[in-house]
Chains A and B, each alone.
Chain A
Amino acid sequence: MAVLSGLLLVSCVVAVGVGAVPIVPAKALRILAHALGLGERGDWFHYEEVILMTVRLPRVIVAVLAGGGLALSGAVMQGIFRNPMADPGIIGVSAGASLGSVLALYLGWAAVSVLWLPLSAFAGALICTFLVYGIATSRGKTPVSTLLLAGIAVGGMAVSLTSLVLFFALRNYEVGKQIMLWLMGGLDGRGWLHVRLAAGPVLMGSAWLCLYARDLNVMLTGEESAMSLGIDVPKVRRRLLMLSVLVTAATVSVSGTVGFVGLVVPHILRLILGPDHRRLLPACFLGGALALVLADLLCRTLAQDEELRLGVVTSMIGGPFFIYLLIKNRRRTETL
């Protein structure tokens, strides 16, 4: 945990110091120290301070919140469904967020206020998930298999509606381009407003989820076994699901669709730390944050003229790793 925290801190400092405009890391640190009231104003240009404080720092904080939230809720989803392939998008959160944001861009709400885009994505994610939950719940019971199937159906519908809106939006090149870029995920343009939007739900939701680590551990032994140990499995599962959805919705609303972080980071950390959720959940938050800060750093530095999209980079790195996990899992099954 200490290693992860240290790595995250170092990566954040590097990420704040690197960007389109070169600012020497030592100077970046002095500017940050000055902003925190820990040093005198130095010989830096005003624009360097502005870039650091209004462009890069909030962007890195959003990366920490989004990455941390996605990985943590991914670990919880995998625990709830007892399925290593589960991730926050499985019950339609990402598809709903995409539909909400695409509508905001197409209808012009996103041009009225900075708030409309993340709020529409947040609302889309919640509506889609509650729809999935409502369809899958009957007489107070929510079978996991029905929940997953409802998630696939509703998510598929949301994706097709998103495509339909995109089809109409493409008549206006710039609107179509903005929609495509949002769908690819990215943190460019994220400021303090996005930090304030995501911080509450992500931090509060993540802390709350970590309190259920013991229950998740017991639930891994099986539903009946957990019930016999005094855990009200349907109730705990419902709470965990709601909190995970809220955290994921808040992260997707500020970062766009970012794939594989919620899937791959918990896997890696489970291999290193083992399945104990008391260690795994906080580690997932730190690991996810680290992964997204580094991925965003790659987006900013790999291409000379234009930034790469975050969702593209995470998928390009996460995809091959996921395939590796599938092959490894298949070989293990075959040897049994």
Chain B
Amino acid sequence: MERRTLGTVLGVLVIVGLTCWSAGGAVVHPPGRRGNPWTVGTPSVARYGKARRIVSLNVGTDEILLSLVSPDRILAVTRLADDPTISSVTALAKAIPIRAVLDAEHVLALEPDLLIVPPYVRREVLAQLEEGGMEILRMPDCYDVDDIRVHLRFLGEALGEPEKAEALVAEMDGTLAEVRRRTAGLPRPRILYVGTNGDTMGRGTNFDLFVEAAGGINVASEAGILKRGQLPLEKGLAMDPDILLISSYRGGKKSRERPELTEDPAWRTARAVREGRVHVLNGAHILSTSHHVTRTAEDLARILHPECYAP
């Protein structure tokens, strides 16, 4: 390369390097991904106990907040909080006046004293909100019931409601224990969950835990599928499950009288479809990242063993 051109390139790269170095102060360091991300109980956390204008930008935290603090401390929740196919708090959410959207201008104009954001909020938006002087709690990823317990206890501590948080954790554990008690010793049907994108939930998911608790066998786990993974149609048919499950949440689309799966020519050959054993799971429960998620275990138990819940 010609010397002056090389000099030009290097010069510009030096400028970019210096820019990055000088911009280092704006970098927001995220909390840890799992485990104990926020060092529960430190003074930096306890200060939110007096927050009176809390804004939540995730339906999971909407659900936790509405169960944890009085509505007059909450300024805004998400629009999804009003959607019964994904939210378990539609009635409670009516008491909250504003619906927040993940937009820097919109959030800054609300002037919250505490903003709770989901893990997937973009770094640059987070940096803008920090620059605007926001107090921000960024929730880490939520993979399973253990994570939800950590989130509940942290938010309880942070918002000055640790006893309520413990009660919610106990409620979750109580639901699971009750489902296990009712279905103990019963035959275990083989079930398969089929998502709208042809995915399923295998080993290591909440669904797997709830199927086990509700007295069933998750055939996706049997087939070695880990977490949420793609389910090849042929494999799904070969599994020959006793019961097929789908979610009622359809991404905002209108619900249908008959599930799409039962109209699919390939799935129609499956024994579960032929014998009319396709059930719709409550999306607001199974997709929840709050304490409401364990209600899925009860939903499943009612499908698999309705006799346990007969009046």
Contact = CB atoms under 8 A, between A and B. Distances in A.
Contacts of B103: 20, 188, 307
A139 interface: no
A330 B30 CA distance: 56
> Quick one: which of B23, B106, B199 has the most chain A CB within 10 A?
B23
Interface stretch (A78-86, A201-209, A284-292): A201-209
A192 B20 CA distance: 12
Contacts of B29: 113
A51 B23 CA distance: 20
Interface in A171-210: 171, 174-175, 178, 188-194, 196-197, 199-201, 204-205, 208
A113 B122 CA distance: 10
A63 B121 CA distance: 22
A50 B106 contact: no
Contacts of B70: none
Interface string B5-25: 100110110011011101110
B30 A204 contact: no
Interface in B91-119: 101, 103-106, 108-109, 111, 118-119
B13 to A, nearest CB: 8
A239 B124 CA distance: 33
A54 B131 contact: yes
Contacts of B230: 171
Given A189-B104, A242-B9, A171 B22 contact: no
Contacts of B228: 171
A306 B79 CA distance: 13
B170 interface: no
Given A204-B15, A250-B16, A110 B123 contact: yes
Interface stretch (A3-11, A114-122, A317-325): A114-122
A188 B120 CA distance: 15
A178 B19 CA distance: 25
A166 B109 CA distance: 34
A111 interface: yes
Name the residue among A51, A208, A306 with the largest chain B CB count within 10 angstroms.
Answer: A51
Contacts of B132: 47, 50-51, 54-55
Interface string A86-117: 00000000000000000000000011111111
Contacts of B128: 54-55, 189, 191
Interface residues of B, number: 45
A246 interface: yes
Contacts of A205: 12
B12 A305 contact: no
A24 interface: no
B177 interface: no
Contacts of A201: 12, 15-16
Contacts, number: 133
B23 A193 contact: yes
B256 interface: no
Contacts of A55: 104-105, 108, 128, 132
Contact of B30 (A112, A178, A208): A112
B306 interface: no
A13 to B, nearest CB: 17
B228 to A, nearest CB: 7
A238 interface: yes
A26 interface: no
A275 interface: no
Nearest to A189: B124
B106 A21 contact: yes
A332 interface: no
A239 B4 contact: yes
Contact of B15 (A50, A174, A190, A200): A200
B109 A47 contact: yes
Interface string A215-244: 000000000000000000001001100110
A46 B22 CA distance: 27
Contacts of A197: 16, 19-20, 23
B26 A191 contact: yes
28 contacts: A20-B105, A47-B109, A47-B111, A50-B133, A51-B132, A54-B104, A55-B105, A55-B108, A110-B122, A112-B30, A114-B124, A114-B127, A174-B120, A188-B125, A189-B104, A189-B124, A189-B125, A191-B131, A192-B26, A192-B131, A204-B12, A204-B15, A235-B2, A238-B2, A239-B4, A243-B8, A306-B101, A307-B103
Given A113-B123, A204-B12, A242-B9, 10 more contacts: A20-B105, A50-B108, A54-B132, A111-B30, A178-B120, A189-B104, A196-B22, A200-B18, A239-B8, A242-B8
Which 4 residue pairs are nearest across A and B when measured between Cβ atoms?
A174-B120, A200-B15, A189-B124, A20-B105
